[in-house]
Chains A and B, each alone.
Chain A
Amino acid sequence: MTGFIPTLWNRLPFAGRLLVTASTALVIAGFVMLYTAARWDAQQAEADLGAQLQDELRVLPPSLAEIIVIGDFSTLQQTLDNAVRRANVARIRYRDASGTTLESRDADAAALAPAWFAAWLGLADQVGETQALVGGHDYGTLKVVITAQESINRAWSRLVQHLSILLLAIILDFLGIWLVLRTGLRPLRTLNDASVALGWGDRSVRIKPVGAPEMRRAAHAFNDMANRIGELLDSQREREDALKESERKLRDIAANMGEGVYMLDRDGRVTFVNPEAENLLGWPQAELLGKEAHMLLHYHAEAEPAESCPIRRANFAGQTYRSRDELFVRRGGAVFNVSLVSAPILKNGELAGSVVAFYDITERKQYESRLHRFYETISERKPDLSDQIRSLLELGGRDFAMDIGIVSRIEGERYEVAHVLDPSGAVAQGDVFGLGRTYCRDTLRLGEPLMIEHAGASEWASHPCRLDFKLEAYIGVPLTVAGRVYGTLNFSSARPSSRPFTVTDREFIQLMAQWLGAELERRQVEEMLKRLNETLEQRVKAEVALNREKDHLLIRQSRLAAMGEMIGNIAHQWRQPLNALGLLLGNMQDAYAYGDLDQQYMDESVGKGRQLIDKMSATIDDFRNFFKPDRAKVRFDLAKVVKDALSVVEFSFQRGNIAVVLEGGPDISIVGFPNEYAQVVLNMLGNAKEAIQERGVKNGKVEVAISRDDDYAYLAIRDNGGGVPDEIMEKIFDPYFTTREKGTGIGLYMSKMIIETNMNGRIEAQNIDEGVEFKIATPVFKDGATNG
């Protein structure tokens, strides 16, 4: 039995399986649905019957109260009979306090459902009792029975209906499946036949999409698959062709590439040798094929075991090995330097051999050696240029295998031997030739190295240099110093070159010429610097002297300007006494005319005249002393000097309608040059006056304030002349800097020198509301100490 069902299932066709599966599912789902619905109906019916019972027990007592209270039992019986006719109400019984009982029964509903169904459903009659209370008086008890038979009958009817629907669904399901499979299996057979055909290689087989959407999609999928298989087969064939072509190209590349390449199998036997490898190694491929060639081709010291060779180890370990300097052995035993790469050949992830690519680096090694010698030569910093160049010529002679080395100086057609190395002594330093007789003319024309290995055997055979100087071999390059052609660096020999010149020879002589040009330039610069250094001190001294002269000139100019101011002030001071003197003389003339000029009158007049003249003379002395240069620092009263300065410009300020206000003025003594300080004050005041006048300020005003702290005395001079533009504020103390048309640019510069250099103070300027403020700070005098 255990094996019967699987066997039967395996023998069932697709349609049978589908029918069995679908029907079983429908039956199970249907019965689950019926069971669930019936149980739900039962629960619902039980709840409904319970609710109805509660309703009856709630409604009946008040509806019967009137009858019960009156005690009208006949009416009560009728009322109960009416009430019991309500749906599901099976029985109502009333029993009063004295035991009198009235009961009404409904006819029993017929049982439609089988007993087992009623028992399974579990529905029972609902029974309840309630008291008939009116005004707290218990008149009796009401008992109500609600029957469940109607609900059981209803549930059974619904079950029968559901079973009918389920049966109908199963029948329709059978019919539907049968119809679908009848049309659906035919395309499946077609698909099966097409798959078989495709499997046997019929790439043209395709299916016509018919039937259900799924079958049409399957047909499309089959056709797509067939197309894709065709494309894949075509693609695979193309790849195989491409692979063969690639292999052919690789062999062509290997045959023509500049590196030597040979391949080994996994046992180290040669499987391929390219022509360059044949050329470098001297072995034809035929003689190497099948041989374990590594020990034959790679140089090993005698004591070195084959197992320790890193290339061989890498070959057998399937590793890549790179080396920039290995030794290979050429057929016949010659050893040469190579750079190589040995890489494993993998086939399906397995080591199948190795490929070794190498190229000859002998020439590079020689060039490196040549460079090394060159750098050793130029690293010897010889003080004498001739010695340095001689070493260079010796190096070149050896490297190029030439007898003669020359550094020429060429100007026009003049070829002068500047430096020479010629063991034969045929050419000496200072020899001069015509440029046209040398190979160097052609070198300069060419602008790059000229190399002649054997002039007699080439187009150079008739060159004058060969004819005149018998030079067969030549290598030379233009020599440039500081961007200008200086001459040439050349090596030559009466014998043909023992070897062909190479690219490295060309690069090497260019390198030598570049270095030599730079060295010559450097030496020239050094010489020029040396000469400059020798004259620099004298020029500095001359410049300093010139500057001093300029400063003196500045000071003189400043003083002359001040003198002009002084003369104006003297003229003002003299104006009143001169008038008085004129009046005095006029009075004397009138007195004489009227005969009043007696001795007393004369004496008094002369006396007054002398007083006036003395006063005028004193004025001159005052101003002269004021402008007399200070000889040495002295202690002086700051306020007095400021007042003296103010008195000098008093007249001009009054004339310009500019008010001057002096604030402060305590006894402050400072040490320095009072007249120079006064000159600074005059400069400040003069600048203030000119600024006010230039701006046309109507109520010009200059405030002069004196103050001090523990260390410094301060003099602030403020005006309302508009101030100094911010962008030039930093420059106003520079010499010859002025913004005025007639300004000299020396006033503030001189002031700064006097205050900061001569008196150890400082002078600063800053813009204020309407003008500028100059603030002069000078150290105050302290007992026992002087500043400066």
Chain B
Amino acid sequence: MSRIVIVWAALVALMGAADAAAEDKVYSLGVLSQRSAVLTAQYWNPILDYVTHKTGVTLNLKITRTAPESNAAIARGEYDFVYSNTIFLPATSAQGYRVILRPAAESIAGQIVTLEDSPVKSIADLKGKMVGFPSRAAFVGYALPMDHLLRHGIEVAPVFGGNQEGIMGQLKAGKVVAAGVNNQVMRDFAARENLRYRVLWESSPYHNLPISVHPRVPDAVAEAVREALAEMETDMEGGKILAASAKVIQQKPPYGFQQAGPNDYRNYLDFYRATLVKDIE
């Protein structure tokens, strides 16, 4: 009996030491570059502070200038946690990032849009035209629309704007006749910029960017982070922080995250296996 007690005590002590070690380590959260670094920081820093406060796990925000840079970092496995859907790319999937959360918000879809008064009436009209995309790393903004165009034999001259709002700005300025975009980002941008546009094509829905965790992160830490983020919206303080952060990027409710797993993003993997677009970064 006494041996059992001693072993149990030793295990508890070992687990406590492991927890303490986990709490002292600083984990990184890489965020896919979709917006400006400052806006991204203003959105995520309060959320990460909350998680740190709730869990004792210190999360440090990591941002790159562009989405390819983000993907490259993901491909190198630099981030302990990742907020991106590019983990399903063949180049990055090798790192084995595991989906733990998905946004509570509605699903996203890829769109090909043009200005309301544009002469372009259908995607067939885009043949040979300059069509804008956020970047080659943009799943709904590039991979889905370009795949659709290629499957319909419509070859266009792609122009990349760096991120979603970058190419939307070019569309508004008339530098491109149409653009592949994230339907939600496009809607918010148009509302903020008072821009009227037409949707030439829209993809099937995909869950928005998941939060996934690198295999090297201890499960306890991953679980603690997942629980904190999943319950954040129902927590009074967490709800306020989410609402404030959403206000920074004019995000519509529902806010926060829900627990998810790899099956929730199966369609991403399916797409990547069958896509005609070969230059997705």
Residues of A61-80 contacting chain B, CB below 8 A: 65-66, 69-72
A134 lies within 8 A of B42 (CB): yes
Q: Which of B41, B45, B48, B64 has the most CB of A within 10 A?
A: B41
Are A135 and B37 CB-contacts (below 8 A) given A69-B63, A70-B63, A70-B65? no
Chain A residue, CB-CB nearest to B47? A135
Whether B37 contacts A137 by the Cβ 8 Å rule is no
Nearest neighbor of A136 in chain B, beta-carbon distance: B46
Task: Tell me if B36 and A137 are in contact (CB < 8 A).
Answer: no
| Pairwise interchain contact A137-B45, C-beta atoms closer than 8 A | yes
User: Are A134 and B64 in contact (CB-based, < 8 A)?
Assistant: no
- B residues near A72, Cβ cutoff 8 Å: 65
Give the most central of A65, A69, A72, A134: most B CB within 10 Å.
A69
Contact status B40-A69, CB under 8 Å? yes
Assuming the A-B contacts A66-B37, A69-B37, A69-B41, are A137 and B61 also in contact, with contact meaning beta carbons closer than 8 angstroms in the complex?
yes
The answer, yes or no, to whether B83 is at the interface (CB within 8 Å) is no
Return the CB mask of B34-68 against A: 1 if under 8 Å, else 0. 00111011111110110000000000011111000
Q: With a CB–CB cut-off of 8 A, which chain B residues contact A134?
A: 38, 41-42, 45
| CB-nearest residue of chain A to B40 | A69
- Which residues from chain A contact B61 at a C-beta distance below 8 Å? 69, 137
Contacting A at CB under 8 A, from B91-130, are none
A136→B36 contact, CB < 8 A: no
The answer to whether A65 and B38 touch (CB under 8 A), given A70-B63, A70-B64, A137-B61, is yes
Q: Is the CB of B38 within 8 A of A69?
A: yes
What is the CA–CA distance of A66 and B42 in the complex, to the nearest angstrom?
A: 11
User: B63 touching A135 by the CB < 8 A rule?
Assistant: no
Rounded to whole Å, the gap between the CB of B183 and the closest CB of chain A is 26
Q: Restricting to A315-337, which residues have a CB under 8 Å from any CB of B?
A: none
Chain A residues whose CB sits within 8 angstroms of the CB of B248 once the complex forms:
135
State in angstroms the CA–CA spacing of A135 and B41 once bound together.
6
The 8 A CB mask of A46-71 against B (1 = contact, 0 = none) is: 00000000000000000001100111
A70–B37 CB distance below 8 A: yes
Q: How far is the CA of A135 from the CA of B45 in the complex (A)?
A: 5
| Alpha-carbon separation in the docked complex, A368 to B40 (Å) | 141
Question: Which B residues touch A66, using CB under 8 A?
Answer: 36-38
Q: Which residues of B contact A136 (CB under 8 A)?
A: 45-46, 49
User: What string of 1s and 0s marks CB contacts (under 8 Å) between A430-468 and chain B?
Assistant: 000000000000000000000000000000000000000
The reply to whether A137 and B38 form a contact with Cβ atoms under 8 Å apart is no
Across the interface, do A135 and B42 meet the contact criterion of CB distance under 8 Å? yes
A65-B36 Cα distance, complex, nearest whole Å: 11
The CA of A134 and the CA of B49, in the complex, are separated in Å by 12
**Nearest opposing residue in chain B for A134, CB measure:** B41
CB–CB A135/B64 < 8 A? no
Q: Is there contact, CB below 8 Å, between B49 and A137?
A: yes
Which among A65, A134, A135, A136 has the highest number of chain B CB atoms within 10 Å?
A: A135
> B41 to chain A: closest CB distance in Å?
4
Separation in Å of the B120 CB from the closest CB of chain A? 35
Min CB gap B222→A, angstroms: 22
Q: Which residue of A lies closest to B65 (CB)?
A: A70
Annotate A610-641 by CB proximity to B: 1 below 8 A, 0 otherwise. Answer: 00000000000000000000000000000000
Report the minimum CB–CB distance from A201 to chain B (whole Å). 105
- The answer, among B36, B46, B65, for a CB contact under 8 Å with A135, is B46
- Please report the C-alpha to C-alpha distance between residue A66 and residue B248 in the assembled complex, in whole angstroms: 16
Complex contacts, A71 vs chain B, CB 8 Å = 62
State A70–B70 Cα separation when bound (angstroms): 11
Residues of chain A lying within 8 A (CB to CB) of residue B37: 65-66, 69-70
Chain A minimum-CB-distance residue to B45: A135
Chain A residues 157 to 187 lying within 8 A of chain B, measured CB to CB, are none
> Shortest CB–CB separation between residue A730 and chain B, in angstroms?
107
Within the assembled complex, what's the spacing in Å between the Cα atoms of A134 and B44? 10
A136 and B50 alpha carbons, distance in the complex (Å): 11
Measured between alpha carbons, how far is A324 from B110 in the docked complex, in Å? 146
Per the bound structure, the CA–CA distance linking A66 and B46 in Å amounts to 17
CB-CB under 8 A from A137, the residues of chain B are 41, 45-46, 48-49, 61
A336 to B61, CA, bound (A): 148
- In the assembled complex, the Cα of A568 lies from the Cα of B160 at a distance in Å of 150
Contacts of B65 in A (CB 8 A): 70, 72
CB 8 Å contact bits of B228-262 with A (1 = contact, 0 = none): 00000000000000000100100000000000000
Contacts of B40 in A (CB 8 A): 69
Within 8 A of A (CB), among B143-186: none
Residues of chain A within 8 A (CB-CB) of B36 are 66
Distance (whole angstroms) from the CB of A633 to the closest CB of chain B = 128
Residues from chain A with a CB closer than 8 A to the CB of B38 are 65-66, 69, 134
Across the interface, which residues of A come within 8 angstroms of B41, CB to CB? 65, 69, 134-135, 137
CA of A71 to CA of B2, assembled, Å: 54
The complex places the Cα of A135 from the Cα of B47 at a distance, in Å, of 9
Q: How far is the CA of A70 from the CA of B40 in the complex (A)?
A: 10
CA distance A136 to B64 in the complex (A): 20
In whole angstroms, how far apart are the Cα atoms of A3 and B36 in the complex? 86
Query: Once bound together, how far apart are the Cα atoms of A233 and B38, in whole Å?
Result: 106
Contacts of B43 in A (CB 8 A): 135
List A contacts of B245 (CB < 8 A): 135
A135 to B42 alpha-carbon distance, docked (Å): 4
**What residues of chain B lie closer than 8 Å to A70, measured between beta carbons?**
37, 63-65
B133 nearest CB across to chain A (Å):
23
Residue of B nearest to A67 (CB): B37
Question: A120-161: which have CB < 8 Å to B?
Answer: 134-137
A137 CA to B48 CA in the complex, in Å? 10
Tell me the minimal C-beta distance from B165 to chain A in angstroms. 15
* Complex CA–CA separation, A137 to B36 (angstroms): 16
Please encode chain B, from 255 to 277, with 1 for each CB lying within 8 Å of some chain A CB and 0 for all others.
Answer: 00000000000000000000000
Q: Which residues of B contact A135 (CB under 8 A)?
A: 41-46, 245, 248
Q: Encode contact with B along A721-746: 1 for CB under 8 Å, 0 otherwise.
A: 00000000000000000000000000
Q: A139: nearest residue on chain B (CB-CB)? A: B41
With the chains together, A519 CA to B205 CA distance in Å? 159
Question: Complex Cα distance A136/B49, Å?
Answer: 9
A578 to B36, CA, bound (A): 153
Contacts of B49 in A (CB 8 A): 136-137
With CB as the reference atom, state the residue of chain B lying closest to A138.
B45
CA A71 to CA B248, docked complex, whole Å: 21
Q: Report A469 CB to chain B, min CB distance, Å.
A: 157
In the bound complex, how far is the Cα of B60 from the Cα of A71, in angstroms?
12
Bound: A66/B63 CA distance, A: 10
CA distance in complex: A65, B40 (Å): 11
Instruction: Return A136 CB to nearest CB of chain B, in Å.
Output: 5
Nearest CB of chain B from residue A254's CB, rounded to whole Å: 125
> Bound state CA distance, A65 and B38, in angstroms?
6
**Which chain A residues lie closer than 8 Å to B62 at the CB level?**
71
**Nearest-Cβ distance from residue B64 to partner chain A, whole angstroms:** 7
CA distance A486 to B18 in the complex (A): 175
CA distance A69 to B63 in the complex (A): 7
Measured in the bound complex, the distance between the Cα atoms of B63 and A65 in whole Å is 12
**A136 to B62 CA separation, bound complex (whole angstroms):** 16
Distance in angstroms from A131 CB to nearest chain B CB is: 14
Contacts of B63 in A (CB 8 A): 69-70
Q: How far is the CB of A86 from chain B (nearest CB, A)?
A: 22
The A59-112 residues at the B interface (CB cut-off 8 A) are 65-66, 69-72
CA distance A72 to B45 in the complex (A): 18
The residue in B36, B43, B45, B63 that gathers the most chain A C-beta atoms within 10 A of its C-beta is B45
Interface residues of A (CB under 8 A from B): 65-66, 69-72, 134-137
> A66-B38, A69-B41, A135-B41 known; 5 other A-B pairs, CB under 8 Å?
A70-B64, A70-B65, A134-B41, A134-B42, A135-B42
26 contacts between A and B (CB under 8 A): A65-B38, A65-B41, A66-B37, A66-B38, A69-B37, A69-B40, A69-B63, A70-B37, A70-B63, A71-B62, A72-B65, A134-B38, A134-B41, A134-B42, A135-B42, A135-B44, A135-B46, A135-B245, A135-B248, A136-B46, A136-B49, A137-B41, A137-B45, A137-B46, A137-B48, A137-B49
Which 7 residue pairs of A and B lie closest in terms of their CB atoms, listed nearest first?
A135-B45, A137-B45, A135-B42, A69-B41, A134-B41, A69-B37, A66-B37
